[in-house]
Structure formats: structure tokens, C-alpha cells
Amino acid sequence: MTKRLEVYKCEICGNIVEVLHAGKGTLECCKQDMVLYPENTRDASLEKHVPVITRNGNELKVDVGQELHPMEEEHYIEWIEVIAGEKICRQFLKADQAPEAVFQAGVGKITVRAFCNLHGLWKVEV
């Protein structure tokens, strides 16, 4: 059974999917079940994965890591996502970009997630 906004990966071909609608079935790719990425919240690797948020009015600046995450072809942040109620905004990144993004967000509970190509999904709630 899948839940809304869960992220899964195929360990064979590397496809990554995010669930938009919860369902009773399982996700398969390349004739095998896809693997669920847990939403990690604590970083054991020198604080390089957990998103760090700076708010200035409605502007939300997200840096990935207290010590900025490396952005190399073999190891980088693929995307940063902000979830505010029923609205979701995502910024895709490339290896030659800084691990940061700026979003417009209102008040209320906000969840920020970042996806590392090697170490998976990381989140913080504010």
C-alpha cells in the first residue's frame, strides 16, 4: 500500500517516482518491487543532508546541510521540494549548481525535503 508523497526507487534502472494518490497496490519497475525511501530527519554525516531554512517574510531560502552538501557529478542533491498544505514546489538541481533554492511560501506548517542521489530523502518541518 502506498501513501501520498512517498518516494520510491527502482534498484535496477534507477527510476524514481513520487506517489500522487495513495493506493492499495505496490509499485513495480523492471519486474520487481520498488524500494521506499524513508524521510530521514537526522544526519550522521556531518550535517550535510538535512535542509536548513531561512525565512524572510514569504520568502523561504533552503540550503542543504549546515555544512553545504557536495555538488559533484557522482554525488549531489537532485532536487529540493517545499510542501505547504496542498501546494508543492520543487526545484531540480544539477551537479554544477549550489545546493540551495528560494521559494515563496505563506504562513503555517511547511515541510522541506531534499533528495541526494546517493543517500536518499531528507526532510525538515517548520
Structural domains of the chain in order of their starting residue, each with its CATH number:
7-37 (2.20.28.100), 39-125 (2.60.40.730)
Backbone phi and psi for residue 41, each to the nearest 5 degrees, phi listed first: -125, -15
pLDDT tens digits for range 73-107: 999 999 999 999 889 999 999 999 999 999 998 77
Q: Percent of the chain, pLDDT > 90?
A: 79
Distance CA 25, CA 65 (A): 35
Distance CA 4, CA 103 (A): 22
Low-confidence ranges of the chain (pLDDT < 70): 43-46
Q: In the sheet that 7-9 helps form, which strands lie side by side, from edge to edge? A: 16-18, 7-9, 35-37
pLDDT at 44: 61
Q: What is the pTM of this model?
A: 0.89
C-alpha cell at 48: 550535510
